[in-house]
Each structure stands twice: as C-alpha cells, then as structure tokens.
Amino acid sequence: MVVYSSGEKGASVGAAKSREGEALPALSGARFRVRYLLSGDEPAARRKAEDICLEQTVEFPADLVPAGVVRDEIVGRLEAFGQVGPARYFADISFAVETAADDLVQLLNVVFGNISIKPGIRVEALTLPQEITTRFRGPRFGVGGLRQTLGIALRPLISTALKPMGLSPTALADQAYQFAAGGIDIVKDDHGLTDQSFCPFSERVARCAEAVARANTETGLKSIYVPNVTGPAGLLEKRAEEARSAGAGGLLLCPGLMGIDALRFLAEHEDIRLPVLAHPSFTGSFVTAAESGISHAVLYGQLMRLAGADATIFPNYGGRFSFSREQCAGIAALCAEEMGGLRPILPAPGGGMTADRAGDMREVYGRDFILLIGAGLHRLGGDLRRNAAQFVELVGRM
C-alpha cells in the first residue's frame, strides 16, 4: 500500500483557448493522485492507464481532445508506471482538483466512475492534497471525541448489536437495557433493523434510547444507543433528527445503500451533531474481487473518514467473512494516519468476533478500536447483562 503524503502541483497554466476559441479560466495546478492496479501484460496495462486518463475526464478519444487546458490539465496525467507482480502493474495518475468539483460524489466519479465498469482495474491508493481535504469537515468526534463522550480513556471501546430481526421494540429495548447495564459502551441497532411493520423505527428508537438512559442512571456508566437511520433517501434527515430527540447517542448508517455522500451529509449536519458509525452493507462488491474495485483500506478507511464517519465497521479477519489480517490492518492504518488534518477514527472490526480473540486483535489494532461483539454474548447463556459485564471485564484487562 502506497499512500503519498502530500499533493503535487502541475505546471502552472494561464488562461487558454478551447477549440471553440473561448478563454477558459486558469486551473490552480493542484492535482490529486490515484494509484490503480492493472491486470494484463505490460502493453495491455499501459493501454489501460492511458484509457483511464481519458475515460475519467473528457470521455473522448485522444485525437479529438482540444489542445490547451483541456488536453494539458483536464485529461488525467500518467505520473508513474511499474510492475508489482506477474501480469500486474501499477499506474499513478493525477487529476486536476477542479475536475472533482467541490464534492465527494464528483471526486468518486473521477476516481472510479466509468472505469469501474472495465475489468482489471482496482483503486489501490488515493492521495488528496489540502485543496481537497479542506473541502471536508471530516469526522466531528473521531477517536478523541468518542472516548470523551463515553468516558473511556484507554481500553478499546465495546459495542454490540440489538438482534435478531423479528423481535419487537419492547424485546429489543430489554436487550438494550441489559447490555448497557452490563457496561457495553455502544449499543447499536443491527443494520437489518430499519422501519419494519413488526419493529417500527419510531417505537424502537424511543424504547431503546429510554432503556439505555435508564441503565446509565442506575449504573452511573455512559452507554450510548446508536439506532440505524438507513432508509429512504428523503427520510434520512428526519430519522436522524428523531433519533437525536429521542436521546440516541450516535447514528448508524449504511453508505453502500444510501451513497457515501449521505454519510457526509449526516456527519456535517449542524443540527444533528452525533457520532456516526458507517456499516459496510452492500459495499462488498467493491472489495471481494482482487483485480477490480477499490482497496479495503481506501474504501473502509480513507473514504469513510473523509466522509465524516467517526467509526467504520468492517468484517474482522478470521470471522464469517474473508478479509485478511493484512487488509484489516490496512484499514486501521488509514483510520489513523495523517490526512489533511482530519480527525483519526475508530476501526470497528466485527462479524464472528468472540471474546477469546481479543488479544490478537489488540496486536493488529492497538488500543484505538471498537470491539464489536454479536452472537458471542448470547452464546454464553440467557443472562445478557452478566455476559456483557464479563466481556467488558475481559476487555478492561487487555
């Protein structure tokens, strides 16, 4: 994984003429850079690299591109090219920051819009200069803010999900109470709970928020309830506001289902101001095929952080899914390393986690992560509060 530490300036350009003879405004010269991994022999990989430069910007054959600013600055620029393995090459391509407009959607469009449809191209790394990172508010809480909210200075944070789908709001609120009373820091909805007739959003959120608040009053602890606000496009803001009013301490969102920019919208919203946890539902196709898509680290680490997630949930290595230890470590690295001054965020590895794996995870993730435990708490017998307390004690000794 190569991640560049700073942006780069192209040759500075003045006003130039388009083919139609009209003056174009000068571009800043600032560029962002993408490392693509390309499949094929060297000539094929080079053709892919040249194609990306055109396809992601002008979408026009090279010989028809107007001379001047369009050809010199708008078209992507191949900055470096080399072999990384058998029939596998990298190409570093830079794009003018102006092509990405001022927003995340258009940035993604330039990075991987049309070429997502061409086989054998994978986004491996993304280097964003200050000209782009300053356009984003980024995480409002991040590692420090979440620790402060929860009153946990050092140990990994602990989260579990309310489940299974099919339980009523009352039954889930009872679970929420037991988990919070047992000391779980973050009690979140399972991502499959939205607004089903058997478990309506409003009733679930009201009951679960009340249950966690009641547990906090009794124990003196600071658990938060994090409902899932994923749902129809026009209802995101309404559900988030309702959750906040009901006393939710954070929000869960599935950017794969709603668009990564919905996460940015929620994280930047000045009236909501709650920690946001990103859930990976519906994003798997970007990462599961080794030769296409987007690297685990860029998708779950860098892009979720840029969009403003305070924590990013992903399947832990060794669980029910197929992420490797190295891929998970790559995500964690991009949650933490310097990125235009944006706050570091918490990786939240989940899926198939059990208490006995906590030690190895500590090695991979350090202290700043969220231990996401699911069925493991149910597996230990019927007393969820006791199971939770035992697990919290275990983590406290890590």
271 binds its own copies (CB under 8 A): no
Minimum distance from residue 82 beta carbon to its own copies (Å): 24
CA dist 100 → 57, 106, 108, 274 (Å): 10, 5, 8, 28
Among candidate residues 348, 356, 349, the one with its CA nearest the CA of residue 379: 356
- For 202, other C-beta atoms within 10 Å of its C-beta total 13
Nearest approach, Cβ of residue 91 and its own copies (Å):
17
Shortest reach from residue 111's CB to its own copies, in Å: 9
| Choice from 27, 184, 276, 392 touching its own copies (CB under 8 A) | 27
3-state secondary structure of 53: helix
Burial (Cβ within 10 Å: 0-12, 13-18, ≥19) of residue 66: middle
Using rule CB under 8 A, residue 25 touches its own copies: yes
Q: In angstroms, what is the minimal distance from the CB of 353 to its own copies?
A: 13
Scanning 5-13, 115-123, 149-157, 325-333 for contacts with its own copies by CB under 8 A, the matching segment is 115-123
Give the residue, chosen from 1, 4, 13, 24, that forms a contact with its own copies under the rule CB under 8 A: 24
Q: Is the CB of 311 or the CB of 377 nearer to its own copies?
A: 377
Q: What is the 3-state secondary structure (H, E, C) of 133-152?
A: HCCCCCCCCHHHHHHHHHCC
Under 8 Å between Cβ of 52 and 37: no
Query: Between 15 and 398, whose beta carbon lies closer to its own copies?
Result: 15
Stretch that binds its own copies, among 190-198, 207-215, 244-252, 324-332 (CB under 8 A): 190-198
Residue from 150, 140, 209, 206 nearest 183 by CA:
150
Helix (H) or strand (E) holding 320: none
Closer residue to its own copies, CB minimum distance, 115 or 208 = 115
Interface residue with its own copies among 117, 134, 202, 245 (CB under 8 A) is 117
Strand partners, 294: 123
Contact 371, 392 (CB under 8 A): no
Contact between 191 and its own copies (CB under 8 A)?
yes
Does 254 bind its own copies (CB under 8 A)? Our answer is yes
- Own/partner contacts of 56-65, CB < 8 Å, gap of 24 or more, are 56/95, 56/110, 56/111, 56/112, 56/113, 56/114, 56/115, 57/95, 57/99, 57/110, 59/114
Residues 33 to 62 in contact with its own copies, rule: CB under 8 A = 51, 55-61
Distance CA(341)–CA(332), nearest Å, equals: 17
Of residues 358-397, those binding its own copies (CB under 8 A): 374-375, 378-379
Round to whole Å and give the CA distance between 324 and 91.
Answer: 24
Question: Is 287 near its own copies (CB under 8 A)?
Answer: yes
| Residue 29 engages its own copies in binding (rule: CB under 8 A) | no
Binders in 206-235 for its own copies, by CB under 8 A: 230-234
The phi and psi torsions of 28 (rounded to 5 degrees) equal: -75, -20
Let me know the angle formed at the C-alpha of 250 by 246 and 252, rounded to the nearest 5 degrees: 105
Q: Which residue from 116, 216, 219, 390 is in contact with its own copies, where contact means CB under 8 A?
A: 116
Interacting span for its own copies (CB under 8 A) from 147-155, 281-289, 329-337, 362-370: 281-289
Could you tell me the smallest distance in angstroms from the CB atom of residue 307 to its own copies? 10
Of these, 258, 304, 373, 389, which contacts its own copies (CB under 8 A)?
A: 258
Give residues 294-333 in contact with its own copies (rule: CB under 8 A).
294, 315, 320-322
